[in-house]
Amino acid sequence: MKKLLLVAAFITAAFSMSAQTSQIRSPQASDFAVVGHVGYQTNYERFGIDLQGRYNLMKNIRIAPDIAFYFPNDKVTGLDVMLNAHYVFYFPQDRFSVYPLAGFGMQNNFYAKQTVMIDGTEAKTDSHSKTDFAFNLGGGISYQISAQGFLNAEVKFMLGDNDNAAIMLGYGYRF
């Protein structure tokens, strides 16, 4: 355990040193970034991973398609595919940015076979999936740690047949 903490401290220190020496450039139109997230979805109480692409249409406006896979909980697995728009407020002197987001997309939940109790008797359910369209609203914050690397936190409220919120933390790389 001590070795693991020592390695984590070393990596954190290395990121801090590179952040102090690298030149942070301001974002431009046509910048592209990829962000990997890990997070939690509230309605189904399950953890997930997310991959997001970001393309700046203008300095402050970007599109951000993403795909999220949610690991099974109570035999329900999720897959969300969204297209979001961000309006970004940059604070270059503090090396962070905040953004509201809005978007739309598809939510898919796969329900595996299971045995349930109904009025004291066992019943087996068939596996099935349900796909819905959803709108989402939320926001996020990014903190620049190097010329290309940044940390990101994002919260989305998805409004559809299965309303829920997703809380994501991740690391991104700007090309």
CATH number of the domain at 30-174, please?
2.40.160.20
**pLDDT: which is higher, 34 or 2:** 34
Q: 88-102: per-residue pLDDT in tens?
A: 999 989 999 999 999
- Cβ contact 80:105 at 8 Å: yes
List the chain domain ranges: 30-174
Helix, strand, coil percentages (3-state) for the chain, rounded to 5, are: 10, 65, 25
Residue 17 has pLDDT above 60, yes or no: no
Phi-psi region of 75 (alpha: psi -120 to 50; beta: other; left: phi over 0): left
Q: What is the DSSP letter of 127?
A: P
Residue 11 has pLDDT above 60, yes or no: no
- Residue range 103-129: mean pLDDT, rounded: 85
